[in-house]
A and B are shown apart, each in its own frame.
Chain A
Amino acid sequence: MDPQSETLEAIINRCLQSDQTAYAALYESCAPSIYRLCYGLLMNRQDAEDVMQEAFVYAFKNLHRYDSTRSAFKTWLYTIALSRCRNLYRRKRLPWMDFASLLSPDLPAPRSETPESRLMETSAKAAVEAALAELTPRLREAIVLRYGHGLTYREIAEVMGCPQKTAESRVRLAHERLRGVLQPVGPGLLEELIGIEA
């Protein structure tokens, strides 16, 4: 069956009947966004991969506990991944930037074709990543969930395990911090970065 045409609920039901292809389909459909979440929070490729794997193993083994009447599957999976990210940065204290990955040639798919625009996007991404890494974990979580995954404040609150007002405050505070870091330089920073890398 084509995983694209099958609903998530149907895939989960097949998983519960121990169908390995269903697990593969579920993974294929959710892994990219879970990896983006983990990488956005941990800022390190290896850590993100390890945590994502841990989260999926847990989710697969506890799939029977998932209650679709209580939350969306995506939210449930995000909650699992987030708690594992928190465990890791509690252990490591501070996230560090994976600079090698920022400069590696296989950076995200370009949205435009010219090398100049690609370089500019890469630099903008590097600047935003650096700014994200400066945020406290809770503020970074709020921003990544909002902008990286389009969650509403209510969903952010659910995943972060806090009241909706707190989620809103965290998004607002993160905005203030990021504005302080990114906007005083704005496009000027991008030009500067292009100048350095060219």
Chain B
Amino acid sequence: MMHCWKVRSRLVAYIHGELQPHERHLVARHLEDCETCYAAYLQQLELTRELEQVVPFVGADYRPDFKRVWAAMQSETVHSRSAPRLQSLHYGLAALIVAALFFIPLTFGGNEITFASPPTQPAPLTVRATPGGTQPIEGTAVAMHIVADVTPEPRRNLYVPLTEANTTP
């Protein structure tokens, strides 16, 4: 014999025909013998009938309008086709700006190109030999030719060809 609490928890599934045959049989037998559970069953049955009658009609007054969906689909297709082009334009502009920033010093600085590098350690100093030896001259402006011992990083190829593959996010 099934306990009342167990039967109550299975009543809705019982009404919906969702119980396995064995469990269904147990619930049915319990309902024959237990008045309290039978009353609960009737309540659930009444609610089930009410919902079955009403819920299928909630929102049932809609008139399908295929043209609207079709138009939306067409416009989305056009959008998704044009989007990569717009993106490649953005990438192109960015590449152009980076390239411009990179090449501008070449046009101004001639051959003396210095590359900025992170200040990882103090640069070694060399002092140019003067007629008075290598001692610093007091009271005069210090004229030292500082040579930064920096090896420029090899230029990275910033130009990335704009293909379909790298424009797609």
Contacts and interface: CB of A to CB of B under 8 A. Distances in A.
Given A147-B52, A153-B13, A183 B43 contact: yes
A61 B74 CA distance: 10
Contacts, number: 115
Interface stretch (B27-35, B64-72, B97-105, B122-130): B64-72
Interface in B50-67: 50-62, 64, 66
Given A61-B73, A175-B12, A108 B57 contact: yes
B9 interface: yes
B167 interface: no
B16 interface: yes
Chain A interface residue number, banded: 35 or more
Interface residues of B, number: 32
A179 B18 contact: no
Contacts of B48: 175
A146 B16 contact: yes
Contacts of A38: 59
Contacts of B13: 153, 168, 171-172
A186 B72 CA distance: 44
Given A53-B69, A128-B51, A175-B44, A32 B60 contact: yes
Interface of A: 20, 23-24, 27-28, 31-32, 35-40, 48-49, 53, 56-57, 60-61, 106-109, 121, 124-125, 128-129, 132, 143-144, 146-149, 152-153, 168, 171-172, 175, 178-179, 182-183, 186
